[in-house]
Amino acid sequence: MIKSNIAIEVELDDKRVPEAIRWHATESTIQRPQEAKAMMLAFWDSAEKAALRIDLWTEKMMVDEMADFYYQTFMTMADTYERATKQKELSDDMRQFAKDFYQKFRDIQMKENKLES
């Protein structure tokens, strides 16, 4: 059996706010830890029927980057759900939600940019 380990290192400031997030996977071809501004990690606890999550982001994470991160995460979740369940209609609904979410974000950004001008 092949085993792979994923190590996540979170550097906190004195208020326990993440300053840096680094990760490394033993099966990766990249030898050094990779930097990230945000992360989402979820596990399914079948005994409790609950999702256990860790969501972290650094202060360096910009709002537009967060919107991109969520859009891409929603799209990936839809792809994963479709592969796991073959529920194309529900997966397409998730993809449409992701597109609507991202468009609304862009519309809000445009309004805010016009107000600042």
| Per-residue pLDDT reduced to its tens digit, 47-82 | 999 999 999 999 999 999 999 999 999 999 999 999
pLDDT (0 to 100) of residue 36: 97
Tokens read off for 63: 């709002």
Which residue's entry shows tokens 């792809």?
A: 79
pLDDT higher than 90, residue 2: no
> Does residue 69 share a domain with residue 114?
yes
| Same-domain status, 41 and 66 | no
Kindly report the number of other CB atoms within 10 A of residue 21's CB atom.
21
Q: Confirm if 24 and 34 have CB atoms less than 8 A apart.
A: yes
pLDDT tens digit sequence for 30-39: 889 999 999 9
When divided into structural domains, the chain yields a total of 2
115 confidence band (pLDDT: 50, 70, 90)? confident
Task: Give the residue numbers spanning the domain of 113.
Answer: 62-117
Residues 59 and 19: their CA atoms lie apart, in Å, by 7
Prediction pTM value: 0.88
Confidence of residue 17 (pLDDT cuts 50, 70, 90): very high
What residue spans of the chain are helical by DSSP H?
A: 63-85, 88-116
